[in-house]
Chain A
Amino acid sequence: MFDIQVKKGLKNGDPGAYKEVFRFLYPRLKGYCKLFITDEHEVEDIIQEGFLTLWEKRAGIQPANSVESLLFVIVRNRCLNRIKKKKLEESNGDLEKSLPNEIQFLYQIDFTGNEDRSLEELMIESFQQAVEELPEKMKFIYKKCKIEGKKQKEVAEELGITVKAIEKHISKAKNQIRDKLLLQYPSLVLLITFLFSH
């Protein structure tokens, strides 16, 4: 959608080039964010931060690649992080499956050219990954109680420890998952893989 001249401008940090990209992408990026985030201010923040991230990482911009999909990935990851944070605040560390918002695939096709995993799936994946990275015993207890839905008493008997100890493990696990999820800043990693894979 943008010519080489604009992309070179982006790479050189020229505000005019950023303005050009901004005016044509803003309405759609906003439309995409609004699928997941209701607060207008938060949407504005995400888009603004997205453009600033692009600016900060401008050395990695390759004029041969699509700026649209690059910005889309940056903005998508910011949405993902906001949602994670919100989910964690709401549900005490459990991330339930929620139905993916169908319209997001429209934006995926438009910006990246194909349908990829939904934001919801990405969120669950990163949550599962955080669970997998827990220490063995903690992971076992957390999975039994929180994912398989077993009673704390049962698990305590199975392991031969007190219910209090189980509770302690679970709250520790929750904290670790929370830290992992919030610390995880996928935008950079994805940005790099993106630049190499296209």
Chain B
Amino acid sequence: MKEIVKKYLEGEAGFHEQVQLLKWLRHPNNRSVFQQYKSGWKKNHADSWFPADAVKSWNSIEAAIVQKSFSKWQKSKKIHLIYKYAAIFFFVLSLGGTIRYYTSINQPPVFYTSVMAENGQISKVELPDGSLVWLNSGSQLQYNTEFATKNRDILLNGEAYFHVQQNAKTPFIVSCNNLKIKVTGTTFNVSSYPENKTVDIVLESGSVELSNKKSSSFSYTMKPGEMAQFETENQKLQISQVNTTRFTSWKDGIINIYNQSLSEVVKRLEIRYNQNFDFDEDIKDFHYTFTIKNEPLSEIIQLMEKITPVKAVQEKDVIIFCLDKNKLREAD
């Protein structure tokens, strides 16, 4: 019977076995034995066990849960009501706070340090706590004088790759938009250029916890190899599996362009080479796949002209891509 119970629990029992099990279970005395078999079976299954045909199903449930959690952040009038009460509550508290403030005024004021990477540059920064940050072109990060002593809070604008020092006592928190990324020690990449509509986080190793500044009721813990895309406008979060090197290789000066449209490619070139581009509307949907290591811009442009029938012309300090009709004719 134990064997049949096992088969039943794993969804492998056939019709006759299920009938047999039912008959057996109709004797109340057998039910406690059944419970024993059940908990024994559960214990025998390691943490990693997962029913083979259920992975896809679970993935969609998890995705839906994550989606629902994050979309809840923005809505609900009830929350506004809570804010109202909270405001009153904090007003009362602040009366007490002013008194405390006068007694603590002797402490040194808090200053902010900010680090920037100009367009066309990648900066590598060592933070006071020993964590390393690679700042991508056109990005900025800020932290205060209490960093590494009282907090490890960082404000990020743009893209950065983090290698965070282990310190479970003071979590390392990156804020961008309303998203809070909390880590204790790990490597991950955050991309939050203001012109993009999403904040993208790619986790290489360790674990990070995402939460919303506006609401403390939800958090999502990322696993290595995952990319989280947070839509800043409607506060939704999407999780997907990615090849992380595609998103983190920029720190070594490598840019991977994988099936991206001309308009996206141009954006990345602008940041990397500090050069303004423009392009004709009718070619914006040409797609490219290539990798840039340390090649000069001229080589990249030649490459693009080879892949697609486009031509680059310089007008003042802007490079303009347009359709090369001669090449189109050759192709015919």
Which A residues are within 8 Å of any B CB, using their own CB? 1, 13, 15-16, 18-19, 22-24, 26-28, 30-31, 44, 47-48, 51-52, 55-56, 102-103, 105-106, 109-110, 113
Contacts and interface: CB of A to CB of B under 8 A. Distances in A.
Interface residues of B, number: 37
B51 interface: yes
A55 B45 CA distance: 24
Given A106-B18, A109-B25, A27 B61 contact: no
B218 A15 contact: no
A23 B54 contact: yes
6 contacts: A1-B38, A27-B11, A44-B57, A48-B60, A52-B65, A103-B22
Contact of A48 (B61, B218, B220, B221): B61
Nearest to A16: B221
B19 interface: yes
B54 A109 contact: no
Contacts of A1: 38-39, 42
Nearest to B48: A23
A48 B64 contact: yes
B280 interface: no
Interface in B205-230: 217-218, 220-221
Contacts of B127: none
A113 B38 CA distance: 13
Contacts of A16: 221
Contact of B57 (A15, A48, A55, A110): A48
A83 B286 CA distance: 50
A-B complex: 4 closest residue pairs judged by Cβ atoms: A27-B11, A106-B22, A26-B54, A103-B18
Given A51-B61, A106-B22, A22 B69 contact: no
A23 B51 contact: yes
Nearest to B64: A52
A186 B42 CA distance: 31
Contacts of B111: none
A189 to B, nearest CB: 22
A52 B61 contact: yes
B306 interface: no
